[in-house]
Structure 1
Amino acid sequence: MLIKFCDCYIRISSRWNSKQFFFIMCGLLVVDSVSSQSLGGITAIRDTSYATNSAYEKTKVDYPYIKIVKEFRFESVKEKRNVTYCKVGDRKLKLDVFYNIEKEKPLKTAIIIIHGGGWRSGSRTQHYPLAQKLAHLGYVCFTPEYRLSTEALFPAAIYDVKSAIRWVRKNASKYTIDANRITILGFSAGGEMASFMGTTGNMPLFEGTNCTTDIQSYVNAVVDIDGTLSFVHPDGREGDDSKRISAGTHWFGYSKKENPKLWEAASPLSYVSAKTPPTLFINSAVPWMHAGREDYIKVLTENQIYSEVHTFEGAPHSFCLFDPWFDPTVNYINDFLKTIFN
């Protein structure tokens, strides 16, 4: 059966389960009601409100001992910056590559790092230190940009990250990557998207029609750093527009009240299944930043899928950008990937 979504016709497989079809139909309803969708958040002006320095200034008030993790200069790590991985119209989407020239493993594990910032702000440059440190350990790391809600609404960012995954898989031999060891890692909004990638791999509705569409988008491992698993879970707080328009409302073009089914359809928890890859959760002490995590893990456990949870007690949301949490975060990631990929 063919349905229309975002000006594309999508073939729905009879093998999809009822839950997947239900959310696809929600997507159809969104398209059909696009006249009421708010485009006011598309300003074409980059939102710089979330950056490492601004997060530091805010966080150090309560954590005066923290330090920003600066970029590393490892002789073993080479970098290629501003590589075009996809072109959407005239828009070139860029990523950066970090790889180790001294590690002699025949095939390496890839890590695609998705930045946070409420789907509206933030920058891939914030995770250069993480990419450099992981590359130093022998991983091949990629930091893609994606279209933020100042430029395009959901699911554009999803399409972009899927394109980045497909680009990495297509270029696996070039960077001596094992195409069956591709990890998606994200922080905050990027963590939500990382889990979404893990639960919707190869799902036509969320593939888009741009770039390397002949390559599969599934990932083999997920690292979610303080990213929500559900936009509608009772433990979450995303969608409170009482003081200002929330990040989610900007991203979807609808408030949660106006279109709750879209908010549910955009939640990783809606798709977690027996096909979801092993997942590592690294969390702060902010409970609503991992809304839905226990329900998500329950599904993984029922399907005998490996998962780990590590929580930094007392830590702020932006912990992974700062010492003293940066090195333990790297160690958790490294240990997890060693465990699942031997």
Structure 2
Amino acid sequence: MKNVKHSWILGLLLLALSSQAQSNYYPRDTTYTIQSAYEKASRKYPDIEAVWPKLPRSVASHENIVYLQLENDRQLHVDVYHPKRQGKKKRPAVLMIHGGGWMAGSKENMRPMAQQLARNGYVTVVAEYRLGGEAPYPAAVQDLKTAVRWIRAEAGNYGIDPEKIAAYGCSAGAHLASLLGATNGLPLYDVHEAYTDYSAAVQAVLNIDGIVSFVHPEAEPEWTGRSANAWLGDYTENYPRWEAASPLTYADKNLPPFLFVNSSYPRFHAGREDLRALLQENGTYYEAHTFAGSPHGFWLFKPWFKPTLSYSVGFLRKVFE
């Protein structure tokens, strides 16, 4: 009888643990890291050096703050970096969005750039979002819209100017940042019932080697690519979804200022020239820079990290100061 009772209790315990594990479980592909990107790129570029997170003495750090509570106890987090010295003047904020082909990666990959932007006077907010293995398109865009709202809701706690928020993304994150900017004011991705008293609009976009159209001829490699098809579904069968996920689809006179910093691979700036033409036509400020002979992922490595940081700071000063 004693063994039966123990078995019954053990069964209940295992069931409870199983339920908790299921409610808290979500698939994360973290194979795309600074280290893995370095190992891949260094085969062709043996002289590069990876840039690792290193918090400057002048910068305060607040990591893994919950910004959105989803169902089944799922929480999304942000890291916040800002200058320790807080003056009376509010600072622009920069939402930092990692890459990894919409299916992999983590916010930790953006920490080096975020920390250095904070050292230059900005409040940087590095966001986690749901990857495609957990929730395919459009979940990531929906999460990031809410992250912008969270920044405004918390602006008073971090000395942020809520009228000056930029979206900064790298690779797939650059595409997502561009989609945030191109859909300012549109409700289709702004669906989470959190911080609804605040706007999800961004006032600038920094696109670091990310496509702005999935359906542009330059994007043809994506049509058969593993990552985009996993995130959006088969290109032929789901063409309207690929078009809807393209920032260029929504581009008009309301686009915010854009910075483009690109590698030498056309695939990663598909549609850029069309977007630049629209920006120029409407008199909206933009910059475009290309590193000749550079790998995709250049922002993670010396010698391109510092020039990318310099372009970013120069652009932010131009549009916000």
Distance 1:250 1:73 in 2: 35
Q: Post-superposition shift, 1:135?
A: 0.5
Asked whether the equivalents of residues 228 and 291 of structure 1 are also in contact (C-alpha less than 8 Å), the reply is yes
Q: Post-superposition shift, 1:49?
A: 2.8
Distance 1:323 1:82 in 2: 27
Distance 2:134 2:221 in 1: 20
Partner of 2:170: 187
Asked whether the equivalents of residues 98 and 173 of structure 2 are also in contact (C-alpha less than 8 Å), the reply is yes
Please, which runs of 5 or more residues in structure 2 have no aligned partner? Answer: 1-24
Q: 1:213 to 1:238 in 2, by over 3 A?
A: farther
Asked whether the equivalents of residues 274 and 300 of structure 1 are also in contact (C-alpha less than 8 Å), the reply is yes
| TM-score (structure 2 length as normaliser) | 0.89
Partner of 1:247: 227
Distance 1:322 1:92 in 2: 31
Matched, 1:330 2:309: yes
Partner of 1:227: 210
Counterpart selection for 1:50 from 32, 45, 49: 32
Partner of 1:169: 152
Distance 1:45 1:154 in 2: 15
Q: Post-superposition shift, 1:106?
A: 1.0
Deviation by residue 1:119-145 (Cα, 9 ceiling, x = unmatched)? 110111011111111111110001010
Q: Post-superposition shift, 1:240?
A: 3.9
Percent of matched pairs sharing the same residue: 44
Partner of 1:281: 260
Letter in 2 for 1:340: V
Asked whether the equivalents of residues 88 and 210 of structure 1 are also in contact (C-alpha less than 8 Å), the reply is no
Distance 1:127 1:239 in 2: 24
Distance 1:267 1:111 in 2: 22
Q: 1:49 to 1:238 in 2, by over 3 A?
A: farther
Partner of 1:339: 318
Counterpart selection for 2:126 from 111, 128, 143: 143
Q: Post-superposition shift, 1:48?
A: 2.6
Letter in 1 for 2:256: P
Q: Post-superposition shift, 1:190?
A: 0.2
Matched, 1:259 2:238: yes
Counterpart selection for 2:297 from 314, 318, 321: 318
Matched, 1:306 2:285: yes
Asked whether the equivalents of residues 68 and 77 of structure 2 are also in contact (C-alpha less than 8 Å), the reply is yes
Please, which runs of 5 or more residues in structure 1 have no aligned partner? Answer: 1-42
Letter in 2 for 1:158: V
Q: 1:142 to 1:238 in 2, by over 3 A?
A: farther
Q: Post-superposition shift, 1:110?
A: 0.4
Q: 1:105 to 1:325 in 2, by over 3 A?
A: farther
Q: Post-superposition shift, 1:88?
A: 1.1
Distance 1:139 1:128 in 2: 14
Letter in 1 for 2:51: V
Letter in 2 for 1:268: P
Distance 1:50 1:317 in 2: 13
Count how many residue pairs are aligned between Structure 1 and Structure 2. 296
Distance 1:295 1:125 in 2: 32
Matched, 1:65 2:50: no
Letter in 2 for 1:193: L
Distance 2:318 2:239 in 1: 38
| TM-score (structure 1 length as normaliser) | 0.84
Q: Post-superposition shift, 1:105?
A: 5.6
Off by >3 Å, runs of 4+ in structure 1: 237-241
Higher helix content, 1 or 2: 2
Distance 1:72 1:209 in 2: 34
Task: State the secondary structure of the residue aligned to 1:206.
Answer: coil
Q: Post-superposition shift, 1:44?
A: 4.2
Letter in 1 for 2:177: A
Matched, 1:133 2:116: yes
Task: State the secondary structure of the residue aligned to 1:239.
Answer: helix
Counterpart selection for 1:203 from 186, 199, 222: 186
Point out the structure with max Rg over C-alpha: 2
Deviation by residue 1:24-82 (Cα, 9 ceiling, x = unmatched)? xxxxxxxxxxxxxxxxxxx9432233211111111001111111112123111111111
Distance 1:61 1:105 in 2: 48
Asked whether the equivalents of residues 230 and 291 of structure 1 are also in contact (C-alpha less than 8 Å), the reply is yes
